[in-house]
Structure 1
């Protein structure tokens, strides 16, 4: 058995760069389709070398400033309607979403080189996996990642479409019925000029649509890359389990030591990648938990107070589903990495360890000790896990009951 990418072991705090495109590049492109789609959503090409991204860096900075600029009209709307709780909460949910997108764009911008190098390393690891049993785990993992990524992008896209189509549907309906309709923007915004008369309304409408597209593209891309990394890490941990469980310790001492060294190097590489993933996503995970907790409160209030409006109910239900799916992606990714990293000792126990020499058994005991340390995706006191996701869902249900009892 050969290791998947043991020539690419971490040295210090660096990650190897991409290799030239292999003959099987088309197969790999299909395998890592989610990663490529995420990069394209942010304007990247898979063929751009990581040393040629200076122009793309300026593009990301421009996108960041563009999204930040939307905070002014949003906050102005909150201040202008400060005595109307329904309008304030409707705007706050959008303000919080915008803030979270700013965090995600900043995270990607600050760690852009590391994102690309991790993508390259995962692809190199897959390229060098020569056994069918090994590649099977990664192929299945990428199918699942692609499904979750598409579901999340669809959810974000539908929410954005609902926001944009709402005013258009009302304008068309009013014209058809011959009634008067007060213009409103897709997002609750207040500009320092007449944004309800022409041409101000048209300009603000276009500006709002562009902000929505940028927010949806970057949020989907950064979250999609996370779930792709997390699910691929789980697949490689599963590959490691398979290698340990099927290791032949009855070979000669020299052969067994060489094979065990490759297993240990593989384990070290996966732990290194897990910690690197946690490091670059720490601000995003922290912001995701804090902002989602706040969003749950304001969106639940909107849902409960707009039960009589089908259009508003669909809008806020879609919005709520989108932010919860967003949180689920991080909690699910953290959960599967934690669970699979703890299964290494079970793989050792299922192997023919009793055939190994005393020296090899001591090495196996070190692997067991190392695997008993949880690999967590966390930020401060927030841990990305399904238990915390369920806790926030319970909080949402409690808020519904509380608001209904107050009414």
Structure 2
């Protein structure tokens, strides 16, 4: 993997959805690769079937463990819940692949317009958002990868410790799954172990890619809104220090304002289009993340030894994935509202009454923030804080039963 994308020296256009493309492309789910009508990606379906088997067997094992061992049940159901939500995300990403491919192409046309490459201010705005998106998206992916690797190495390390101590090794799978007995014995056990470990990596790459896709969209939308702010300052400073404009200048200014409004409408409509496709994914992510955070921190409080390392990484990964949803939603809302402030601060009072009405319409529309909302809530940093408080309450309640 080339880590140059984490620096500011990476080519600007190559930043575009880099982490989502890396993660989803590895599993065969990158929309631009599967958007052709009638296209059938064998690798994508293989991964989908493998994860389906993993989710069913892991859920069954977790439900059985609830009757006898609560800690084992939580240790099983936490990754099982994450895998189940990931399976839902896989299905929806594949179902909406043509719509998401259109979003990618349309967003790229809007962000990398012709004058972005020659305007240093616009280039700086786009690069700042691109670098931040690449870095923030990579953090939860890395933490998830570390967590999955820890799960996969834990049985091997435990077996090695028992062997060094001269005791009989206990061969276990990385994730607690219900498997036919013959698959847990030689010569099939190594293959079963590899299959189980691979389901974890499918979850990490799909989870990371799907969530990074959401944040990358939010980051590019915020960049577009900042570009609009820059354009509006340029448009409304058209007349310089003059308090009156000629008829020709007013005509040119009106045309530029109309183009500005159309561009603003395109961003709003694109955001609404994307949110409809991501509604179920966002809802499922928030519900599962809140429960997993509480369960993983409870496990962190009860586990000892190597289990603590696993759940520290698990908690950070889930919090990171939740944070990028909330931060992305806040970033879009704040950037859209800021457009009204920029418009009001310009010299729009020097325009004729017709042009002033255009500017006032821009101000009024911008005061209503562009929202990444889904039914029941809107992803924002306020929502992130509320989820943390709720998770803390779950932890306190669980601790009282110890």
Q: Quick check: 1:192 aligned with 2:187?
A: no
TM-score when scaled to structure 2? 0.88
Distance 1:48 1:187 in 2: 31
Note the alpha carbon deviations across 1:26-64, whole angstroms, 9 max, x for none. 6512455334424433336898584377133x5433322
TM-score when scaled to structure 1? 0.87
What are structure 2's unaligned runs of at least 5 residues?
Answer: 1-9, 240-244
Q: Quick check: 1:93 aligned with 2:73?
A: no
Checking the alignment, whether the CA contact within 8 Å between 2:215 and 2:328 is kept in structure 1 is yes
Note the alpha carbon deviations across 1:112-146, whole angstroms, 9 max, x for none. 11222222222223432412222221111110010
Checking the alignment, whether the CA contact within 8 Å between 2:24 and 2:205 is kept in structure 1 is no
Superposition deviation, residue 148 in structure 1: 0.9
1:401 match: 396
Superposition deviation, residue 326 in structure 1: 1.1
Q: Quick check: 1:61 aligned with 2:45?
A: yes
Alignment size in residue pairs: 380
Work out which of the residue numbers 296, 300, 310 in structure 2 matches 1:303. Answer: 300
Structure 2 CA distance for partners of 1:111 and 1:198, relative to 1, 3 Å = same
Distance 2:283 2:250 in 1: 48
Structure 2 CA distance for partners of 1:190 and 1:61, relative to 1, 3 Å = same
2:254 match: 257
Superposition deviation, residue 175 in structure 1: 1.9
Distance 1:207 1:377 in 2: 37
Q: Quick check: 1:70 aligned with 2:54?
A: yes
Structure 2 CA distance for partners of 1:401 and 1:27, relative to 1, 3 Å = closer
Alignment of 1:7-406 (within 5 A): 27-30=12-15, 32-43=17-28, 50-51=35-36, 54-56=39-41, 58-81=42-65, 82-130=67-115, 131-247=119-235, 248-250=237-239, 252-306=249-303, 309-406=304-401
Structure 2 CA distance for partners of 1:237 and 1:69, relative to 1, 3 Å = same
Superposition deviation, residue 386 in structure 1: 0.8
Structure 1 vs Structure 2 CA RMSD: 2.2
SS of residue in 1 equivalent to 2:179: coil
Distance 1:180 1:63 in 2: 35
SS of residue in 2 equivalent to 1:380: coil
Note the alpha carbon deviations across 1:80-99, whole angstroms, 9 max, x for none. 32221111111111221011
